[in-house]
Structure 1
């Protein structure tokens, strides 16, 4: 059945409601770390601040890799909602919560080797390392709550319960501020207090989240699906999707870690310039990821309801919105480079020549804006293999050759070319897969829901 133009685009208000909720929620993530840094930064002893900064790198890496729990939950939940299958909706949440709980316990069991490996790589002075370990030892106990919150937020986003996601983000950060003040300022726990604050606020967030999520669920429904949670075939499909997303994340983390290390080898000025340009790119990522998460929810919903006629309109709206953000940030950076980067540093040896690389940043922002939307689209369809293969292809053929040349010639322009080619290859490869995904039939539609059915 052909849809009218108004029917094709009737999702637009839903898209922007989801996008706003996701963007605000995303911005809460760096805010949580900044809160602890702000409190510690006003203490006389600077070692606590430095130690927490080092430990935060380790936690950021671990949780980034495990964020597949959120990505893998949203798309399947949205598909089940679109198919009006309440049992499947519950099973997606419960199965991924089980996986998250097992992984959270595994992190606790492996906390000592993780700590030793992490702090041996992220070296620092003895007093700084000691402060970082105190923070790590306290915060690590919040890992099960963090991973369950990934699942919970992904599940709520798949159900388009945006207001609840915002409430959780606000509660988590408000609790973190209050507990930071009590533990660090009042009780003098310093870095240990910062870690305890983050762990405690995550458990509070989880408790409130469970209460909010259960408001529309009957206990009888949960009890009815409990025997179906441990279904080996369904668990295998769920784990397969999560595995593919994790491989994608590890690939991209490795690429950007190599970029950072290679930039550091080129000297302090170049490394700092790349870091400042990276901060602008990171702002674009936080904003466009919010749009990507909205795309993920709606593409999954449309797949579940077999509304494939809305896929192309969704991509038009999401890509146009993302490009608007990316081009706006790029334009401001091109027109006002000294003002933009002057906010981040007052060292003229850094800002004086940074505009030589701004055009590189512009290409990166444009390609990333498109790639992020396409990735959200495929995640909504639960096409983990596509997302995985695209990242591996982009790293192998887009990034590695230029990265080797950048290392050999010790040239930052070639390094930026490697970054741009990685994102360009990722974008183009996703576009190659697009025609097939836009034309699948109802039989293909039903495949991904085998991850949540008997």
Structure 2
């Protein structure tokens, strides 16, 4: 647990080893594994009320907030890349200043959401209409939880800052802390005090606030120095402009990626209820893949960023290769598991015979998906660490265009199989286009200024 101890000074970097990669990656994998547990508990406690409406209200409320907060995911990724480079350059004053900038963005964004909540929620229910009873309960839920927005978005910055330094065990502790408080309060407020849907919202609000407090405590080393409150450094125009550019690129790239998946679901809806349901079941396999690979992609972000900051091209290449090697091991295992046990997993997710049959028909695409998607996942982490975000944005634009063409050509001919093929083609194109830009990324490690171009 040494990495949880606060402190701004970086130790002398040892040669990168597999143990070091795993020390960064495995806590993230474990942290991700806790995420579905909380959603299950939220659903289970309101399910004890014996009515369908509270379950739907919590579900739709959580989805709306998750979609809104997802927009600010750039803060986590951008903070990781920029902080890792400052850490690698041994610029500890800049490391501390980055934390302040990230917190200011997070708190400012959260306050803006609170101020605009009426319009936000009205728009959300226009896009996702529900019954009057469910919408009323969901509004109660959202009007409570929105007050946690500064803490929730600020935690993106805190998490990115910790990952940049390889302090992923601290991230795991933070996630476990928040989930434990949330679950205990869920049980108390809903089952013990009978607060219903508002009880779930209050439990999450308190958990987010306590998580932000815990996060600040884990970052306490930064607050012992003066750099975090050095206005001239924190608000330096060049650094602010770079941070804004990195974050804007990541936001555009993420919106394009989300557009691919949203269009995937919209097109699938045109095939009828059964193929749509089958696709929704199989997309959970992609979620599992993403959770499993996140640890190694995050390790790549931290280690590549540190190497970029140190202007150590050989270390950058070694970090990219070693994290990707563990990615290969992971996807090979996932492909085998999906191939051998995918049918059993499908049966656990749905009891509808026709959906089970359809999902099995398309299961081979999910066996292939981790293999075809590996390079794109890992290159994302590598490019985030190097803050080559303009490349990420541009290559994602090309990927989205190729996906649209592939879907237009393959779906009329092959139906849902063509849609899955188009999605996997998008994985390959994203990897190929980023791979073509990788030599420029390595070359940037030899220059002092070439990280974000």
- Shift of residue 84, structure 1, vs aligned partner: 0.8
2:32 match: secondary structure: helix
- Which residue of structure 2 lines up, in the alignment, with residue 228 of structure 1? 233
Q: Summarize the alignment of residues 25-424 of structure 1 with structure 2, pairs less than 5 Å apart.
A: 25-215=31-221, 217-223=223-229, 225-397=230-402, 399-405=403-409, 408=412, 411-424=415-428
425-434 vs 56-65, which deviates more? 56-65
Please list the CA deviations of residues 292-326 of structure 1 after superposition, one character each: whole Å capped at 9, or x if unmatched.
Answer: 01110000011112221022222222222212222
In structure 2, relative to structure 1, the CA distance for the partners of 1:362 and 1:204 (3 Å cut) is same
Q: What is the rounded CA distance, in whole Å, between the counterparts of 1:254 and 1:220 in structure 2?
A: 43
114-123 vs 10-19, which deviates more? 10-19
| 2:449 is aligned with 1:446 | yes
Please list the CA deviations of residues 100-144 of structure 1 after superposition, one character each: whole Å capped at 9, or x if unmatched.
Answer: 111111111111111011111111211111121111111111111
In structure 2, relative to structure 1, the CA distance for the partners of 1:310 and 1:357 (3 Å cut) is same
In structure 2, relative to structure 1, the CA distance for the partners of 1:315 and 1:441 (3 Å cut) is closer
Please list the CA deviations of residues 42-92 of structure 1 after superposition, one character each: whole Å capped at 9, or x if unmatched.
Answer: 221221111111122212212222111110011111111111111110111
- Shift of residue 253, structure 1, vs aligned partner: 1.1
- 8 A Cα contact 2:25 2:168, kept in partner: no
Please list the CA deviations of residues 3-56 of structure 1 after superposition, one character each: whole Å capped at 9, or x if unmatched.
Answer: xxxx99633222111101111222333333222112112221221111111122
Q: What is the rounded CA distance, in whole Å, between the counterparts of 2:105 and 2:421 in structure 1?
A: 39
315-324 vs 262-271, which deviates more? 315-324
In structure 2, relative to structure 1, the CA distance for the partners of 1:264 and 1:449 (3 Å cut) is closer
- 8 A Cα contact 1:172 1:201, kept in partner: yes
- Shift of residue 195, structure 1, vs aligned partner: 1.5
2:194 match: secondary structure: coil
- Shift of residue 428, structure 1, vs aligned partner: 0.8
- Which residue of structure 2 lines up, in the alignment, with residue 3 of structure 1? none
* TM-score (norm: length of structure 2): 0.92
In structure 2, relative to structure 1, the CA distance for the partners of 1:25 and 1:336 (3 Å cut) is closer
Q: What is the rounded CA distance, in whole Å, between the counterparts of 2:141 and 2:269 in structure 1?
A: 27
Q: What is the rounded CA distance, in whole Å, between the counterparts of 1:449 and 1:439 in structure 2?
A: 12
| 2:417 is aligned with 1:429 | no
In structure 2, relative to structure 1, the CA distance for the partners of 1:213 and 1:245 (3 Å cut) is same
Q: What is the rounded CA distance, in whole Å, between the counterparts of 1:331 and 1:412 in structure 2?
A: 23
Number of residue pairs matched by the alignment: 441
In structure 2, relative to structure 1, the CA distance for the partners of 1:365 and 1:238 (3 Å cut) is same
* TM-score (norm: length of structure 1): 0.92
